[in-house]
Amino acid sequence: MRIAMIGTGYVGLVSGACFADFGHQVTCVDKDAAKIAALCRGEIPIFEPGLDALVATNVKASRLDFTTDLAGPVAEAEAVFIAVGTPSRRGDGHADLSYVYAAAREIAASIRDFTVVVTKSTVPVGTGDEVERLIGETNPSADVVVASNPEFLREGAAIRDFKFPDRIVIGTSDERGRKVLGDIYRPLSLNQAPLMFTERRTAELIKYAANAFLATKITFINEIADLSEKVGADIQEVARGIGLDNRIGTKFLHAGPGYGGSCFPKDTRALVKIAEDHDAQLRIVESVVTVNDNRKRAMARKVAHALGDNLRNKTIAVLGLAFKPDTDDMREAPSIPLITGLRDMGAKVRAFDPASMKEARRELPDIDYCDDAYSCAEGADALVIVTEWVQFRALDLPRLKRIMKQPIVVDLRNVYRPAELEELGFAYTGIGRSQA
């Protein structure tokens, strides 16, 4: 099967490389000439474990290539995937669909034979209808089916998620469209991955409902964590105690500084707007958005509290900047409001992240970036763990204690056991653990 992937970001590059690995012929297209030039040189523009080897293997086997020219690959393709960004529209929280619609118009102009145009980007309900209308308007003779195939991969585990998905959702009622997408995903359905065929609008809503549910689960446990602190309970045990109930499940029950990333914040906001547009208020999701935004801002106050509510001339060492481990993605990362808040309160901030410091410099240009966890902690008044990279799980604690100015640890991911740190002489603050 010949596939054109429009947009070569986290989703487009991973999906394109995985489709090529299934044996399809894939061309990844992007408007960003620097990104395509890097890929053509064999460089991977994002940090995603295993992606470099997967791309290299498939380029070598001549199944995967990269270009800025959309017309050629689209004319040749049996399926064209749209995997461009759908960020929050400035000011109002709606999904910004300008990249999707621009791509749809460009695709329309280049379509030759029967083609399935698939939105993989996360798009509001009804976007497929508009993509279909735009293609018909631009190229009335184009023989196309427009389908929805939302993507559920997680950054940091993207290849595994793509190759071993919990389900694949295909939204189209057209038989030709179902056949082409069924063939593309055959290697996975042969491997027992459930392929769910549904209507296009239903597929579009499934993606937002899934993300909103997961964001709700995180926000729920974060609020229970706050209560745990007040009543003297331990949120780690509360989460385990409820998560072992099969109806609840243990995943997405890790209390922390609030969710961030390229998906949950913008997708929950967009879902609230979709509902408003259709006169169907989603009060739970509205609350999740507000509670999470407030929580991210409150984390700087939590750190200040651990230092006696005075950060003037204090040096804070921040470990982890990316919104989660195993990615360099800084979009809406909790580290950003945290560090901004710490600086507003007069602190000097130093930081270290194994992958995201290049990205972070754009968002946070005025802090000191360090080479490793220990140079970051040297002389600091407090150490704050923001992202739970595996290398922060086994720090040399006695060494940290020796090099820090004050042995204060604020662990926003509950990586360490309070008793262990207290025994070593640290003042420890976690999330949802009694501060008594």
Ligand X SMILES: NC(=O)c1ccc[n+]([C@@H]2O[C@H](COP(=O)([O-])OP(=O)(O)OC[C@H]3O[C@@H](n4cnc5c(N)ncnc54)[C@H](O)[C@@H]3O)[C@@H](O)[C@H]2O)c1
DSSP conformation letters of 228-245 = HHHHT-BHHHHHHHHHTS
Instruction: State the alpha helices, DSSP H only, in 166-282.
Output: 175-184, 186-190, 200-231, 235-243, 264-277
Q: With binding defined as CB under 6 A, does residue 31 bind ligand X?
A: yes
Span 118-137, contacts to ligand X by CB under 6 A: 121-122
- Per-residue binding string, ligand X, 73-112, x by CB under 6 A, is ----------xxxx------------x--xx--x------
CB closer to ligand X, 71 vs 291:
71
Buried b / exposed e over 391-400, threshold 16 CB at 10 Å, is ebeebebeeb
Residue type, 272: V
Pick one of 3, 4, 5, 9: the residue that binds ligand X (CB under 6 A): 9
- Per-residue binding string, ligand X, 251-290, x by CB under 6 A, is -----------xx---------------------------
- Which residues are within 8 A (CB) of 243 and not within 5 positions of it... i.e. 6 or more apart? 249, 250, 251, 253
Q: How many residues bind ligand X (CB under 6 A)?
A: 28
Whether 18 is catalytic: no
Structure tokens at 212: 């909103």
CB closer to ligand X, 126 vs 243:
126
Least distance from ligand X to the Cβ atom of residue 103, Å: 4
Task: Give the whole-angstrom CA distance, residue 76 versus residue 5.
Answer: 12
Task: Give the whole-angstrom CA distance, residue 356 versus residue 363.
Answer: 11
Q: With binding defined as CB under 6 A, does residue 27 bind ligand X?
A: no
Q: Are 334 and 299 in contact (CB under 8 A)?
A: yes
Q: With binding defined as CB under 6 A, does residue 35 bind ligand X?
A: yes
DSSP conformation letters of 2-45 = EEEEE--SHHHHHHHHHHHHTT-EEEEE-S-HHHHHHHHTT--S
Pick from 97, 90, 152, 151: nearest CA to 123: 97
- Per-residue binding string, ligand X, 147-166, x by CB under 6 A, is ----x-x-x-----------
CB closer to ligand X, 115 vs 315:
115
The contact set with ligand X (CB under 6 A) reads 6-12, 29-32, 35, 70, 83-86, 99, 102-103, 106, 121-122, 151, 153, 155, 262-263
Q: Which positions make up the binding site for NAD(+)?
A: 30, 35, 86, 122, 155, 266, 331
Residues belonging to the binding site for substrate are 152-155, 207, 252-256, 260, 324
Name the residues annotated as catalytic: 263
